[in-house]
Amino acid sequence: MNKVIVQKPCHWIESQSDIMLEQTMQLSAINSGTHNLAGLTRVAEEFSSLFAPLADTVEVLDSHDIERVDHQGSATTERYGKILSFSKRKSAPFQVLLCGHMDTVFPRDHTFQVPQQIDQHTVTGPGVADMKGGLLVMLTALEAFERSQTSDQLGWQVILNSDEETGSLGSSHVLKAAAQQAHAGLIYEPALADGTLAGARKGSGNFTLVAHGQSAHAGREFSSGRNAIMALTDAMLQLASLTNIQRGITVNIARISGGQAFNVVPDQAVCQFNIRCQLPEDQQVIAATLQQIVKDCECSEGIRMELSGGFTRPPKAISAANQLLMDWTIDCAHTMDIDLRFKDTGGCCDGNNLAAAGLANIDTLGVLGGNIHTEKEFMLIDSLTQRAQLSFLLLNRLASAGEQLRAGEQVVK
């Protein structure tokens, strides 16, 4: 890597550290919980003003509405915020897709709303790590690249969605279409606090199981009732037994509800659960097993069950192209005297979606932080600069040698 070419933009990134921190804090102060559409509109306007000056093309796209069964067993329609797309040099021979999400897990009524700098190294706040800080890393790396690049070999597209925290169901069509037009993907989820990046990821599915029984007076007509809670309990025990830690399968019974007064046999009970698998073939087997569990539990007279949901994020395996992209990321880090490592994880993100569309990607290029999804979420301030420099170096590498990635399709891990 030509040090003369990269030193000046890396120094420029250092000069932007205070601006990056200020913008992260300002964006964190705007509540953008997945279901806060007004807040998502506000934060999308802010990100549009930041990214649009870099782009040749700017688009505001609609998310799809998604039908779900809620924890009460009722069918609901979930609506999500807009999707932002920014593109540059669409005709370039090598295309990079950079992805991130504007939503957080914190709703408008959550107590965790105000970002704070707690010392010279650390800030806390909703989304500072996951992933508003990461989006500033992405932006600054692109700004540095555009200030320095002289090659027309690399074009890029940025996709910012508003529903990643609930599975990207409303934006998956946009992610898939963009992935099919790209040759490498960069995603700005936070790294671990020690700087470790995610390698292979498990796949995930969310499900809702509703048991219907027969209501009756618990005293006078107990035998006439059919207890939906007991039927659901039988099903949940069978679901939990599918967990196989050695094989990388986990079933998390996440929420249950049902019943009314003490003297009424409950006629409905609801269970919501998550299943994660390491292997794609296990998702197929488990999907069939779930149907058999439902069938078996319905053998009891007067019991009916409804299963909804499904596997929406396949496992992310590491292809030869993905391994090469990881190796290049490590090489770029080494030029910064950073000992960068990858570690497989049970978590999911849009890296799963892009990999399912055949796109090699690195999906934890954001800031260093931790305690995400809690009121103790934090970000390490210095990582804004460090990770923006890393992404700039990686973009520079892709601009000069990205064609090699096209050859990698064989899964090696």
Residue 289 CB neighbour total at 10 angstroms: 14
> 130 with 173, same domain?
yes
> 158 with 303, same domain?
no
Determine if the peptide bond prior to 131 is cis (ω within 30°).
Answer: yes
Domain assignment of residue 322, yes or no? yes
> 10 with 159, same domain?
yes
Distance (Å, whole) CA 189 – CA 135: 9
> 381 with 391, same domain?
yes
Domain assignment of residue 73, yes or no? no
What residues make up the domain containing 187? Answer: 3-67+79-201+315-407
The pLDDT of residue 411? 39
The pLDDT of residue 5? 63
The pLDDT of residue 204? 95
> 283 with 322, same domain?
no
> 138 with 272, same domain?
no
Q: The CATH number of the domain where 293 resides is what?
A: 3.30.70.360
The pLDDT of residue 408? 53
Domain assignment of residue 186, yes or no? yes
> 116 with 40, same domain?
yes
> 274 with 347, same domain?
no
Domain assignment of residue 74, yes or no? no
> Per residue in 268-321, pLDDT tens?
999 999 999 999 999 999 999 999 999 999 988 899 999 999 999 999 999 999
> 8 with 131, same domain?
yes
What Rg value do the Cα atoms of the chain yield, rounded? 23
Which amino acid, residue 330?
A: I
Going through 215-335 in order, the beta strands assigned E by DSSP cover 216-217, 250-258, 264-265, 268-277, 304-313
Distance (Å, whole) CA 129 – CA 366: 8
Give the total number of structural domains in the chain: 2
Domain assignment of residue 412, yes or no? no
Domain assignment of residue 366, yes or no? yes
Domain assignment of residue 413, yes or no? no
Residues 6+ apart with CB under 8 A from 375: 110, 111, 112
CA neighbor of 25 nearest in space, from 389, 391, 388, 384 = 384
Buried b or exposed e, range 120-143, using 16+ CB within 10 angstroms: eeebbbbbbbbbbbbbbbbbbbbb
* Ranges of H-type helices in 223-319: 228-240, 280-297
Domain assignment of residue 72, yes or no? no
CA neighbor of 275 nearest in space, from 251, 308, 244, 294 = 251
Asked if residue 248 lies in contact with residue 277, where contact means CB atoms within 8 angstroms, the answer is: yes
| pLDDT < 70 positions in the chain | 1-5, 406-413
Last residue of a domain, one of 313, 342, 366: 313
> 236 with 121, same domain?
no
> 157 with 99, same domain?
yes
> Per residue in 341-362, pLDDT tens?
999 999 999 999 999 999 999 9
The pLDDT of residue 412? 37
Last residue of a domain, one of 256, 288, 313: 313
The pLDDT of residue 3? 57
The pLDDT of residue 150? 72
> 210 with 173, same domain?
no
Last residue of a domain, one of 313, 335, 361: 313
Q: Are strands 94-101 and 154-161 parallel, antiparallel or unpaired?
A: parallel
Q: The CATH number of the domain where 32 resides is what?
A: 3.40.630.10
Residue 287 CB neighbour total at 10 angstroms: 15
